[in-house]
Structure 1
Amino acid sequence: MKKKLMNKVRIAAVGKELPEYCRETADIIPLVESWLGQQDQRFMRKVVKIFEGAAVDKRYSIMSPDDVFSTTSFEDKNNVYIREVKKLGSSVLSKTLHKCNWEPESIDYIITVSCTGIMIPSLDAYLINDLNLKEDVVRLPVTEMGCAAGVSGLIYAHNFLKSNPGKRAALVAVESPTATFQLTDYSMANMVSAAIFGDGAACVLLTSESEAIGPSIVGGDMYHFPDSTQMMGFDLTNHGLKMILDITVPEIIASHFPNIVHPFLSKNGVSIDEVNHLIFHPGGKKIVQTVEALFGEYGKNIDDTREVLREYGNMSSATVLYVLERFMEKNINSGEKGLVLSFGPGFSAQRVLLEW
């Protein structure tokens, strides 16, 4: 009996889009000092050092820095989020479709990802109208998986396309962490998130068409840390989405690292020695340093991850897709493999193995 060949799912293109406002970290520090002017001076100096040492040189935002540090209601900020997310989502999807010479009506499955605001209908409904997607396109909005959701979207797209040969999928991630900034929250979680986060949008086009080119997805899985829902996320308050960020996240990641990486690779028939490229989500300087040290033991580097953090900050779910775009633009040899990895609320790790 002839064995049936598995349907390959390939990444056809990755694109990004940035909001209009951009500031160097050095230009934001005076605003931070003004914001914290009534606080203890030692506390203010500590926060300034967090900004200076965050390994983020600049970040983009949907609002001007002055507006970010102004007193506004949750409703007002969320309305800005809704308006700008629609623009960014439409623009990044159009731009990425153009890269592939795909028509919008050729998309069979659309996944939209965002956790930094609230909108119903979700972004995908507006994209269907803005770009005239076909009437029977399958929608999947992913709204509550935080930084991990970019990789989650790749996993969902892979599963759909693997079961549906000859189809196309679009994954659109649009995030605005600045819309969640809490002006009256002086917790260290709010300080750290303000220092590392920025806004941005990304799009990945995937296909199960037999003639497609681009890296194929070998497999994708999720790893859930037990009893860790308190480590990362948002509390919904009268002032908006309040950041939850446990300082023990890097060490918890380190303790689970062997279970996150090796069984997943083994399941897909490879070892860490056979992985040529690491496409890791830059959650923040400490997480990057932790994962860099863990992979460094195997002679691997995450230089592209560090560069994305420096140039854009952590844009939640979209950030790992910025790292992926850098690899899509490289001249990578056939047969080489890449491990895509991100962490997010739950607490969980999301993993995808690519082969060029």
Structure 2
Amino acid sequence: MTRVLAVSSVFPPHRYRQSEITEALARFLPSGADTALLRRVHESVRVDSRHLALPLERYGPANDFGTTNAAFVAAALELGTRALELALAEGGLPAGELDLVMSTTVTGLATPSLEARIAGRSGLRPDVKRMPLFGLGCAAGAAGLGHLHDQLTGRPEDAAVLLSTELCSLTLQPADTSMANLVAGALFGDGAGALLAVGRDHPLYETGTGPTVVASRSRLYPGTEDLLGWDIGHWGFRMVLGRELPELVRLHVVEEVETFLAGHDLKPSDVDAWICHPGGPKILDVLAETLGLPDAALAASRGSLAEAGNLSSASVLHILGGIQAAGPPPPGSTGLMIAFGPGFASELVLLRW
């Protein structure tokens, strides 16, 4: 078993109301573009505010890929360091006793990777194991926890961190009037999260109040590779976002959830805590409808979306941290973490308090 000891979330200092971001992006659109459509999209995604890596005035069509990626590295290094150190402090683990750091991002490029750059400044051992992940997108928070569990099952005396650093705003193409880019500009926010976990033989295993990881499952859906991801070129990262995604969730993911739970003698009604990636309000609505969930079941996901936007892989860490901070569920409670990403893929993690 794997025990979650702490979950941290940190954000850039630049926080804006959704209406402020809407008006700024409307000014960036080319002459003759449909600004009314942009405003309707921004109003429809149920986001109230977001944090951005840069002040609003620093975004615009003049920024090239090199400029934005340099900004990514600088901001991600600062946020990732804070998230890692906060999780270690909350979990009561000295930095020198961390055995593995797994880092994920899909919003910028860095070589050396972020966790390598953070290791020295945070006091990690020179022989700390590192596992950088790229390309899993929004699914990487749940997938990373599943992979962390696999590692700690094999090395149950170890302590490990999953670090997610996502600066989605730096991928925005301000002059792109495609629906995918308009939705991305309305939905995504910036932030970082870190999850500290230990194996069953670690001295801190019995001291934690966080959940244990019971099992995880990854699933690719063939023929859906072109529905979600990045189109990467000299312009940087351009969003690929198929309109079919909510229907894919309806047709395939719900069955995946039900069969995964059934393998552990559970039904959706047995799940006490839902940690669902807020890919957008339509995704959450489809999950609630098809799984027959009460309104309160996805309240934490909807609250995270409203408060900070879609944080890509960091969203599920933000949601889980919020659940823990509000007072962990009673012992014996069951949780399910769900996230979706490029592939098209789903990631499920079964938790128990």
Is the counterpart of residue 336 in structure 1 residue 333 in structure 2? yes
1:289 to partner: Cα distance: 1.6
Q: How does 1:25-104 map to 2 (within 5 A)?
A: 25-36=18-29, 38-40=31-33, 43-104=34-95
Deviations 1:57-93 (A, max 9, x none): 0100111112123511110000000011000010111
- List gaps (5 residues or longer) in structure 2: none
Normalising by structure 2, report the TM-score. 0.95
Q: Give yes or no for contact 1:24–1:58 (8 Å, CA) kept in 2.
A: yes
Is the counterpart of residue 220 in structure 1 residue 213 in structure 2? no
1:3 corresponds in structure 2 to none
Is the counterpart of residue 9 in structure 1 residue 2 in structure 2? yes
Letter of the 1:246 counterpart: G
Q: Secondary structure at the match of 1:302?
A: helix
Which of these residues, 242, 257, 279, is aligned with residue 261 of structure 1?
A: 257
Quote the Cα distance in structure 2 between the aligned partners of 1:180 and 1:275: 35
1:5 corresponds in structure 2 to none
Q: How does 1:150-165 map to 2 (within 5 A)?
A: 150-165=141-156
Q: Secondary structure at the match of 2:102?
A: strand
Letter of the 2:298 counterpart: I
Letter of the 1:181 counterpart: L
2:135 corresponds in structure 1 to 144
1:321 corresponds in structure 2 to 317
Deviations 1:300-321 (A, max 9, x none): 7201100000000001100111
Quote the Cα distance in structure 1 between the aligned partners of 2:188 and 2:265: 36
Q: Give yes or no for contact 2:28–2:61 (8 Å, CA) kept in 1.
A: no
Is the counterpart of residue 236 in structure 1 residue 236 in structure 2? no
Deviations 1:187-208 (A, max 9, x none): 1100000000010000000011
1:106 corresponds in structure 2 to 97
Is the counterpart of residue 282 in structure 1 residue 278 in structure 2? yes
1:48 to partner: Cα distance: 0.7
Quote the Cα distance in structure 2 between the aligned partners of 1:163 and 1:206: 14
Quote the Cα distance in structure 2 between the aligned partners of 1:132 and 1:204: 17
Q: Secondary structure at the match of 1:60?
A: strand
Could you tell which deviates more after superposition, 46-55 or 291-300?
A: 291-300
Which of these residues, 21, 24, 29, is aligned with residue 17 of structure 2?
A: 24
- 1:317–1:331: structure 2 CA closer, same or farther, 3 Å change rule? closer
Q: Secondary structure at the match of 2:45?
A: coil
Indicate the RMSD between aligned Cα atoms, in angstroms: 1.4
1:4 corresponds in structure 2 to none
1:248 to partner: Cα distance: 0.7
Query: What percentage of residue pairs aligned between the two structures are identical?
Result: 30
1:36 to partner: Cα distance: 2.7
Normalising by structure 1, report the TM-score. 0.94
Is the counterpart of residue 295 in structure 1 residue 279 in structure 2? no
1:38 to partner: Cα distance: 1.1
